[in-house]
Structure 1
Amino acid sequence: MADITRRLGWRHLRGAPTAHVRHHRSGTLVHDGPGLSFWYRALTAALSEVPVDDRELAMTFHARTSDFQDVTVQATVTYRVGDPALAAERLDFSIDPDTGAWRGAPLEQLGTLLTETAQQHALDVLARTPLATALVDGVAAVRERVSAGLAAEPRLPATGIEVVAVRVVALRPEPEVERALRTPARELIQQDADRATYERRAVAVERERAIAENELASRIELARREERLVDQQGTNARRKAEEQAAADAVRAEAEAARTVRLADAEAARSVRLAKAEAEGAREVGEARAQAQAAWLRVHGDVDVATLHALTGTRLAENLPRIDSVTVSPDVLTGLLVRLGHGNGDGRGHGQADGAGDGHGDRA
């Protein structure tokens, strides 16, 4: 849109390089070209602004294939105004001299013209194409047909419109039909996936079998080696036992020989000791016999009184300890009587001996 400013009843227009401005005053073309800047009076000026840049027109429309299936076509047409003067004459590109806004909707008219023209050619080519073919080759076929149709449309050059490019973005069926069409492909993909899964499982099973066989072979080899180890250990144990038994036999023989030697030595020592003891006992017996004989000879030579005195002495030596002695009057009387008579007769002497013995006992 042009930039318009006001100054004391005058207007100043400043256009863009992509906008072609035409200024008529009293039916006479005064200014004509893109990117103009000039003063004018609003009451006498007739202005029009035609965009000359490339514009994108997106369109979406429905079509029906030869097997009566609805499809949606999404396309984009790039166009530009090649002859601004012709376009300004055929379409209303006039602008308000006070605001610079278009009085009409020229771009909408161009969009409707291009959309209907492209839709007409797309419907024509899809109406003779089945759905499966349209989904596979329909995009290229529609693009070529729409491009050729727009290039051959006589109204576009007469309006000053040039078609730069045509792009068909997508061609899609209805959602239910699209899902139905996807089902076989999905099934095939699923079958391929299942096949790959089965193959992977088969390979895994084969590998597991190989691993199990290797483990079994390893266990068998380990068992065989353990068997050889057990045999070797048994042989070693048996050899060790034999060597130990031989060593024990040698040790036992040596111990028996040593025991025999010790027994012989002990027997000889015992014999010598017994002989010595017997000799000593004989000598002691002889000495005792001699002493007893001498003792008897000595006692045979002494008198009876001396023997009685010795007997009392030996008896006193062997008696227990006497703490106190009680002398009765009868004993004391008899003792005094004996002392008074002396040793006059043998009876008195015997009594004195008896009293002496009693005294000795009490002593």
Structure 2
Amino acid sequence: MAEITNLGFIRHLRADASVHVLHFRGARLVREGRGLSFLFAPHTASIVEVPADDREMALVFHGRSADYQDVTAQGVLSYRVTDPRTLADRVDFTIDLRTGALRREPLEKLALRFSQLAEQHAAGWVARTPLRDVLALGPERIRAAIETGLAADPSVPAMGLEVVSVRISSVRPAPDLEKALEAPTRERIQQAADEAAFGRRALAVEKERAIQENELKNRIELARRREELILQDGQNARREATEQAEASRIAAEAEAARGAIAAQAAAHELRTRADAEAHRTRAQGDADATALRLSEEVRTAAEAARMAAVREVPPAVLLGLAAQAIAGKLEKIERVSVGPDALGPALERLLDAGATRLAGG
């Protein structure tokens, strides 16, 4: 958009280099060019501003395929102005002399014209093509049909325009038909996904089975090794028990031998001691018997001598000696009872003894 400055009775315009400006005074073209800057009288001037850069517009059109299915295509068309004066003669690009904005909507008119032309050229190919081919080949074929149709259309260069490029971004059927067309593909994709899932599950089951088989083999191997270990432990225990029994037997035999030797020594010592004790006992017995015999012989001789001595002693003396002996044995005599039967003869014997002693004296 041109920049217009109000200077009172006159005004100043400054245009960008991307627009082509045509300045008319009345019906006469005063000046034209890109990026102009000039003064003008607003009451006599008419200024046209035509874009000189490439312009893009959206393409959206609907068509029907050979099998009577609706198709929608979307894309972008790029164009540029090759002859600004010719385009200005065909389309109104006059600007407002106060604001510099376009008074009409020429770019929208150009977009409508290009959209109608593009739809006309594309609809012919779509109408001759089945829907599946349209969806499969649509973007490239529709683009080629539009470019070819617009290049061959004489109305485009007659307006001072040139098509730069055409791009088709998508070709789609009606939503319900699109779902119906997507269903088989979705089913195939889902089936492939299910098969992949089944394959993964089968592979997982196979791996799990292999793992379980390996675990079972490991358990069998461990059981076999445990059995071998138990057998080896049993053999070792039997061997150890045998060795211990043999050692115990040898120790017992040695102990028995030591015990026998000790018993023999003790028996020999006992026999020696017994023999010695018997010898001492016999010797002591012989000595005791000899002493006893001698003592008895002495006692017998003494008793015989005593008896011989007593034999000649009178009875009264014997009685007195007996009384003396008895008195020496007794500690205390409470009383003495002398009867007439004992006292008479005793006195008689005492008198006889006294008489005899006197006679002898």
Q: Give the shorter-chain TM-score range.
A: 0.7 to 0.9
The equivalent residue for 1:259 is 259
- TM-superposed CA distance for 1:69, in Å, is 1.5
Counterpart CA distance in 2 for 1:307 and 1:131 is 177
Counterpart CA distance in 2 for 1:121 and 1:145 is 6
TM-score norm. by structure 2 comes to 0.76
The equivalent residue for 1:324 is none
Aligned-partner SS, 1:236: helix
The equivalent residue for 1:26 is 26
The equivalent residue for 1:77 is 77
The equivalent residue for 1:183 is 183
Counterpart CA distance in 2 for 1:187 and 1:119 is 34
- TM-superposed CA distance for 1:39, in Å, is 0.6
Deviation per residue, 1:148-176 (Å, 9 max, x gap): 12222222222211111111110111222
Counterpart CA distance in 2 for 1:208 and 1:8 is 94
Deviation per residue, 1:296-317 (Å, 9 max, x gap): 79x988x76886687568xx9x
The equivalent residue for 2:288 is 286
1:120-159 aligned within 5 A: 120-159=120-159
Deviation per residue, 1:98-120 (Å, 9 max, x gap): 22121211111111111111112
Q: 1:227 to 1:99 in 2, by over 3 A?
A: closer
- TM-superposed CA distance for 1:181, in Å, is 0.9
The equivalent residue for 1:241 is 241
| Runs of 5+ unmatched residues, structure 1 | 317-330, 336-345, 348-363
Identity %: 47
Are positions 1:172 and 2:154 aligned together? Answer: no
Counterpart CA distance in 1 for 2:31 and 2:113 is 29
Aligned-partner SS, 1:190: helix
Greater mean deviation of Cα atoms: 265-274 or 93-102: 265-274
Query: In structure 1, what residue type is equivalent to 2:267?
Result: A
- TM-superposed CA distance for 1:76, in Å, is 0.8
- TM-superposed CA distance for 1:290, in Å, is 8.2
Counterpart CA distance in 1 for 2:147 and 2:121 is 9
Deviation per residue, 1:181-234 (Å, 9 max, x gap): 111112212222222333333333334444444444444444444444444433
Counterpart CA distance in 1 for 2:139 and 2:21 is 39
Q: 1:292 to 1:139 in 2, by over 3 A?
A: farther
Greater mean deviation of Cα atoms: 286-295 or 63-72: 286-295
Q: 1:247 to 1:208 in 2, by over 3 A?
A: same
Counterpart CA distance in 2 for 1:68 and 1:130 is 8
- TM-superposed CA distance for 1:139, in Å, is 1.3
Counterpart CA distance in 1 for 2:325 and 2:71 is 172
1:102-117 aligned within 5 A: 102-117=102-117
Query: In structure 1, what residue type is equivalent to 2:150?
Result: L
Counterpart CA distance in 2 for 1:66 and 1:309 is 183
Counterpart CA distance in 1 for 2:294 and 2:13 is 183
Greater mean deviation of Cα atoms: 158-167 or 281-290: 281-290
Q: 1:7 to 1:257 in 2, by over 3 A?
A: same
Counterpart CA distance in 2 for 1:310 and 1:170 is 171
The equivalent residue for 1:163 is 163
Deviation per residue, 1:83-112 (Å, 9 max, x gap): 110111111111122221212111111111
Aligned-partner SS, 1:95: coil
Query: In structure 2, what residue type is equivalent to 1:91?
Result: V
1:1-363 aligned within 5 A: 1-278=1-278, 283=284, 286=288
| Runs of 5+ unmatched residues, structure 2 | 307-320, 337-345, 348-361
- TM-superposed CA distance for 1:13, in Å, is 0.2
Q: 1:118 to 1:279 in 2, by over 3 A?
A: same
- TM-superposed CA distance for 1:273, in Å, is 3.6
Counterpart CA distance in 2 for 1:262 and 1:127 is 134
Counterpart CA distance in 1 for 2:235 and 2:326 is 95
Q: 1:131 to 1:308 in 2, by over 3 A?
A: farther
Counterpart CA distance in 1 for 2:72 and 2:81 is 29
CA RMSD of aligned residues (A): 3.5
Deviation per residue, 1:258-302 (Å, 9 max, x gap): 2222223323333344445555566389299589869979x988x
Counterpart CA distance in 1 for 2:323 and 2:276 is 44
Aligned-partner SS, 1:94: coil
